[in-house]
Amino acid sequence: MRIAAIDIGTNSIHMIVVQIRPDFSFEVIDREKEMVRLGAGGLDGRALTPEAMHAALQVLSKFRRLAESHRVDDVIAVATSAVREAENGGEFLKTVTSQTGIRPRVISGTEEARLIHSAAVYGVSVPRDVAVVIDIGGGSVEVTRGAGAAIELGRSFKLGVIRLTERFVKADPLEPRDERKLARHIHSEIGKYLQQINRAGFDRVIGTSGTILSLGAVAAAAEGRTPGAPLRNRRVPAKQIRRVRQELVSLDLDKRLRVPGLEPRRADLAVGGAILLDELLRGLGADEITLCDLSLREGLVLDYIARHRKEIAQADRYPDVRRRSVYELAERCNYWPQHAQQVARLSIALFDQTRAIHGLTDREREWLEFAAILHDVGVHISYESHHKHSCYLIRNGDLRGFEPEEIETIALVARYHRQATPKRRHEGFSALPRRARRVVRTLAAILRLAENLDRSHAQTITGLELHDRGGDDLLQVRTSGDAELELWAATRHAGPFERLAGKPLRIEVSGNVYAEHPHATPRVPGQAVRRRGDRRIRQDDAAGTAGEVAERRRAPRLRHRMELVRPREGGDQDRQEEKRAHPDDVQPAARDRLR
């Protein structure tokens, strides 16, 4: 299963595309980030600027196309401090959804801290370690403490580097007076919380986010390490961070741009970031910080995995998103898997053997299979009119990967698996173009016959073959047990299939013709016919051994009773006959009679 996770931050927009493995770990297969400064000039309740929103929309549109190129199953996106505080944040998110199709949600500072903590400990921590995690963003800083992924303390503070730079960095290089003001502000905002964590104790401090990684890269370069070397799990002494702070504060922007290891796009924010990180480590009394390149976006992935384990396991079974979403809907509605899959198998077999008649393609074949899987999901609402409930659930079941016209076709095919056949006056069906109506009629006729070939839900039909004999079609079925109920139901509801084929349908089991309609062709010479009302039962007296003939003559009691029933118009009389025909299945038979 593949998903894309997007973090719409105050300073940058990040996206990762991950492959989730069957063991619920994940692998990053692509990543992108753009520094758009969405929160520049828009913090503390002010509006996001038109320029920043336009830049963010362009980036998100590109990210959406990239995610689609990887055929991801889902895109999850969150917005943090800048959107959370902006007076026009809600308007911006609506525009994102309408223009890109991405649906971001705003998360609180506490939720942001939790997700970051889970990602950081997943990336670098030992399970029993008590870790403090620091994430410095553009609008806020999150500081958490917890053993493993469980957070005991977690808070978000309005101390992001864009916010601090806009308020305190007035000169370049920074004046000592402004540096002291900035340090005092940090201490007043977060000092008591850091002391609380210090008293509780911890085993290590983990630092995430672009600001901390950039400062860590400067510290690594000062030690002579190769530029661009991996930073994850690299331990940087707090004293080294202090030296980096002193160096950056003393330089103007032009000189900071040439500092080895410092990302040029962060050069204007590096002074405020270095002061903030140094003050945080001092407040914690930490000797070192461990760098981690996993942050909020990876936390989103881990959270998604924790909440969708069943769907992820399903994705391993069904890699195709369309098929997977069909089975997800079926399972949400507590479908009958054995019956649904049997009906799907029989439907596909009938479809394949009638291709020369209907001329449909593999695309329609897939629609038929999905309609067969979902045809009974309406029972989740009520058995009565469940075919209509199935239609509703398919239309509104959030099937992914389908075009609206495909969903409508699948819904209508399921709707016509019982009772009424498609009619122009029916809602939904009447709105379809002519070819689509023909497709629905064809697929519904096949599904109706397949459904009745598993009327007992016992999966007794193991195979079938359809033979065109000129004047009629012969359906030969192989069975694994008593299939009398299936044969009776299929004969009663073969009408739409006969109209599709343009001729009568006769059903035969192991060489014995079970039934044919009154308008079927005359019997074959040499065969005996026993009449029961309008139904004729053929037996080939010359076929098989004496033992086989004797076995055929020992018909079950249920069969004798069924042969006495002749479908006819009328109310109470019909119901009485059906009760005689189905002593073990009165209610389903009565329902069938209402079709």
Whether residue 477 is predicted with pLDDT greater than 80 in this model: the reply is yes
Closest C-alpha to 270, from 173, 155, 133, 141: 173
**Bridge-partner residues for 187, per DSSP?**
none
**What local confidence, expressed as pLDDT, does residue 325 receive?**
84
Mean per-residue pLDDT, 131-142: 94
Whole-number pLDDT of residue 398: 81
Higher-scoring residue by pLDDT: 547, 387? 387
DSSP 21: P
Q: Do domains 1-106 and 108-300 have the same CATH topology?
A: yes
CB 359 within 8 A of CB 480: no
What pLDDT score was predicted for residue 562? 30
Confidence of residue 553 (pLDDT cuts 50, 70, 90): very low
% of the chain surpassing 90 pLDDT = 61
- The mean pLDDT value for 474-495 works out to 91
Mean pLDDT score, 548-557: 36
Residue 552, pLDDT above cutoff 60:
no
- pLDDT for 55 equals 94
Confidence band for 513, pLDDT divided at 50, 70 and 90: low
- pLDDT confidence of residue 512: 53
Is the domain spanning 108-300 CATH 3.40.50.12780? The answer is no
Quickly tell me which residue has 């079925």 as its tokens.
477
pLDDT, mean of residues 262-271:
92
> What is the reported pLDDT for 128?
76
pLDDT of residue 570: 35
Yes or no: domain 318-452 corresponds to CATH 1.10.3210.10: yes
- pLDDT score of 488 more than 80: yes
Per domain, the residue ranges of the chain are 1-106, 108-300, 318-452
470 has a pLDDT exceeding 60: yes
Residue 187's pLDDT band, with cuts at 50, 70 and 90, is very high
Task: Name all contacts of 327-332 with Cβ < 8 Å and 24+ positions apart.
Answer: 327/373, 329/374, 329/377, 329/393, 329/394, 329/397, 329/398, 329/399, 330/373, 330/374, 330/377, 332/397
The pLDDT of residue 528 is 32
Q: What digits encode the pLDDT tens for the residues 449-469?
A: 999 999 999 999 999 999 998
Taking only the tens place, the pLDDT of each residue in 38-66 is 988 767 778 999 999 999 999 999 999 99
Instruction: Write the CATH number of the domain with boundaries 1-106.
Output: 3.30.420.40
Share of the chain above pLDDT 70, in %: 84
Decide: helix, strand or coil at residue 274.
helix
Cα–Cα distance, 30 to 559 (Å, whole number): 64
Q: What is the pLDDT of residue 344?
A: 96
Residue 502 has pLDDT above 60, yes or no: yes
**Structure tokens, 96:** 């994102």
Average pLDDT over residues 181-190: 96
Residues 255/270, Cβ–Cβ less than 8 Å: no
The answer to whether the CB of 361 falls within 8 A of the CB of 474 is no
Q: What does the pLDDT read at residue 592?
A: 40
| Average confidence score pLDDT of the chain | 83
pLDDT of residue 308: 87
Q: How confident is the model at residue 504 (pLDDT cuts 50, 70, 90)?
A: very high
Q: Could you tell me the pLDDT band of residue 297, with boundaries at 50, 70 and 90?
A: very high
Specify the pTM: 0.61
Three-class SS state of 178: helix
Q: Is pLDDT larger for residue 526 or for residue 442?
A: 442
pLDDT digits (tens, 9 = 90+) for 235-261: 899 999 999 999 999 999 999 999 999
Q: What is the pLDDT of residues 317-326, one digit of tens each?
A: 777 778 888 9
